[in-house]
Each structure stands twice: as structure tokens, then as C-alpha cells.
Amino acid sequence: MRGNFSSITRMVSAGVIAAGLMSAPAKAADDTIKVGILHSLSGTMAISETTLKDAMLMLIDEQNAKGGLLGKKLEAVVVDPASNWPLFAEKARELISKDKVAAVFGCWTSVSRKSVLPVFSELDNILFYPVQYEGEESERNVFYTGAAPNQQAIPAVDYLMSEDGGSVKRWVLEGTDYVYPRTTNKILEAYLKSKGVAAEDIMVNYTPFGFSDWQTEVSAIKKFGSAGKKTAVVSTVNGDANVPFYKELGNQGIKAEDIPVMAFSVGEEELAGLDTAPLVGHLAAWNYFESVDTPENKKFIADWHKFIKNDKRTTNDPMEAHYIGFNMWVKAVEKAGTTDPDKVIDAMIGVSVPNLTGGYSTMMPNHHITKPVLIGEIQADGQFETVSRTPGLVMGDEWSDYLPDSKDLISDWRKPLSCGNFNVATGKCGGKGTN
């Protein structure tokens, strides 16, 4: 969902990387099951995606230590799409056609996911997508283990409106200018208005990628917040622009008690580059925090530190999504008794595995999963402390009920419907999304 590029970067880095880092040569052995890992290891997105590659390698290692799958060892095939969207499609094709992988775990930005979709449906393989995204999509070949807007954005806003969250009446929707923030903000605006928030109490603002001079924006937030009503900022600001944003907030003295900032793209990883003392109390909404105190999570963190050989490395929400997705895939393969994607896709629905926050996540017929939603406050040590948690699990809703274009759509990949965009108003498959 995040990342941007100049075309020169793309051309040159594609050339350099393609020459330098061709995928690991596939050993033509039938006694292993190959799993593709499609995460950028160079370019701007490397900052987020490298961690996910390592997490996948760890999960595959652990599965092998447990005796592999169907009596065979798992083998990871790592490729580097170099934060370059067309290269994602090429590398995906290479993984499926040349390396014959059984499933692929990968992508971060929505645009990279969109660019590999045709490849996965053409070659009929499986993609596990681990990042929170804007929704408005459901594909037969993709399993979405990150949060849909209703598993992150809406509960977050609900929390801010509640008494515990400060009964917020005025809203700043601050985002980076691309598809995820724009769609999410569109959904949030419609949602807020449905809750009786007046149009003049909502301010929407967008900034470019990698924006670093936040003075004007922060002082505009300050100004908007001085209208005598409790104000909060809902931030869909892209990862890298967050550090200067928070630094400016701290320096201009905006305290979380006065104007809290609720972020959807700021996790433990982003906070690692920041002195969080001035940010204590600002919020984030995720389905997982490293600080969650469960035995599963403690073991996961300990394994991660051991695997990466660094006690300081944090864990984050997309890592948990891969943890869930990988375990679901293992279970589905065992259930189907084969790694044939066609059969595994059918076997996936209804599979239920433990998540790291002390519950179970289930794959739903719309290829999204059930998760709890956690709201955390930033602490001085760079971790989040959970201050609110949805009472039950929230089911991912791919087609938002708050957008006019998608409110009649549902997705159900079970036979006989087998449709990702069924329009309940017209009773036909093939409705339209908003993007």
C-alpha cells in the first residue's frame, strides 16, 4: 500500500538488481515443496518488506523442524522485485512457471498487488497478502490476511468517539496522496457523516510521498483543533513521512491529551527510528502489537530474536498476518492432501488457526480473515500499550458498506456462487468496485 518511484529509479534499479540478484537457482528436486517469497529487498520498500521475507524464512524453517509438510521438506524461493511494480509481475510469473512454487507470500503496496493479480489468475496460483489495505477487492487466487478497513479504520474511529477515547467531535483526516489513504478516507468520511458529524468538522488533507516539511500541516491541525471541540487526527500517512510528521508534532507541542493522532500505518518498526518520549499517548490501530501478553506471542518474539540474531528487532502486524496465513496454508494443504492450488483454494475456506493475540483466526468465504482489533497508545519505550480491544473477532469486509459503489456487493468463493463481486441488488456476479 505504500511506496513511490521515479521512473529512472525503476529502470536503473531493475537493471542492476536483475543482473545482480537473480533468484536462487531452483534445485529440480521433487522431494521438496517450494514456497515463493515475493518481497522487495532493495529500493524504498525494502525498509518494510525485508522483515517479512525474514519472517517467512523463519516460519518455513520451523515447519521443516516439525517434519515438513506431507512428508516433504519446504523450500523457500526468495526473489527480489526491488520495489518496482512491473517487476513484481515478472517475478511472480518466474516463481510460478519456472520455480513451480505451491504458493506465494508477498507484496506490500496495493499497486504491487494489483500488478501481480493477472499473473496469479492466469497461472492459477495462490498469493497471501499480509498488509492492511483499502478493501474493494476480492480475488479467487488471493487470500487477504491483513486488515480490511472495517478491521482497522472503523473500530479506531469508534474508539475515538467513545468516552474512553475522548469523545472526539472534530476530525482531521491526514494522508499521503495515493489509493489507500484516499479510499480509506472516503470510507471514513461517509462513516463519520452517518454518525452525525457535520461537514465543517472534517478536514481532509493530503501530502506527497516522503513528505518531510510538516510545519504548515501541523500548524493547520493546531488551528483546526482550536474551535472549542475535542479534535483528533486520523493519519494514513505513509511510513517514511511519519518520522518528520511526529517530530514536528512533538516540537510544536501538540500533546496526545489535547489532539491525539490515530495512525494506521505506524507500527513498532516505524517507531524504531524515533525518540517516542514526546509522542506518548498517540494512537495506532492494528490487529497485533508486539506488547500483547500471550504465550503464543512470547514464543513468537523469542523465536524471531533467535532467528534474526538480534534482540532489538521488533515484530509487527504484517508479520503476524504472515504467521496466520502460513499456518492456514499448511493446514489447508494437509486437509486437501495435495499442494495443487486449485484444491488448496477450496480447502482454505473455514480453516482456523491460532493468532498471536490469544484467539483463533478463521478464513472466511470472501478470502478475508477474522481478527480482533486493538487500539494501542505509544509508550516511551517505542512499544504500544493496548488500551482497547474489540470484544469479539471482526470479520474482514472487502466491499465497504459506506461507499455507494460497493455497498450492494458481497464476495463468496464457495461453490456454487464462486464470485468475488456479487451484487445482491441485481442478483448478478460482476458488480463494480470503486477502483
Which residues in this chain contact other proteins in the complex, by CB under 8 A?
6, 8-9, 12-13, 16, 42, 44, 46-47, 50-51, 163-166, 177, 205-208, 210-213, 215-217, 219-220, 222-223, 226-229, 240, 243-244, 247-248, 250-253, 256-258, 260, 269-270, 272-275, 278, 280-281, 283, 377, 379-380, 385, 387
Within 282-316, residue ranges assigned H as helices are 295-308
> In terms of CB distance, is 266 or 419 closer to other proteins?
266
Nearest distance from residue 232's CB to other proteins, in Å?
A: 10
Is the sign of the CA dihedral 335, 336, 337, 339 positive or negative? negative
Q: Are 405 and 186 a contacting pair, CB within 8 Å?
A: no
Nearest distance from residue 302's CB to other proteins, in Å?
A: 15
> In terms of CB distance, is 43 or 396 closer to other proteins?
43
Cell 494501542, located at residue: 376
Nearest distance from residue 251's CB to other proteins, in Å?
A: 4
Beta-ladder partners of 262: 234, 283
Residues 6+ positions from 275 with CB-CB distance below 8 Å: none
> In terms of CB distance, is 70 or 380 closer to other proteins?
380
Nearest distance from residue 93's CB to other proteins, in Å?
A: 25
> In terms of CB distance, is 51 or 287 closer to other proteins?
51
> In terms of CB distance, is 314 or 352 closer to other proteins?
314
C-alpha cell at 228: 472549542
Show the CA angle centred on residue 284, arms to residues 280 and 286, nearest 5°. 140
> In terms of CB distance, is 44 or 150 closer to other proteins?
44
- Strands (DSSP E) found in 297-398: 352-354, 360-362, 370-371, 374-378, 384-389, 394-395
Nearest distance from residue 305's CB to other proteins, in Å?
A: 15
Nearest distance from residue 45's CB to other proteins, in Å?
A: 9
129, 259, 316 from 23: Cα distances, Å: 21, 48, 26
Backbone dihedral angles phi then psi of residue 232, each to the nearest 5 degrees: -140, 155
Q: Are 216 and 239 a contacting pair, CB within 8 Å?
A: no
> In terms of CB distance, is 6 or 71 closer to other proteins?
6
Beta-ladder partners of 377: 283, 385
Nearest distance from residue 409's CB to other proteins, in Å?
A: 30
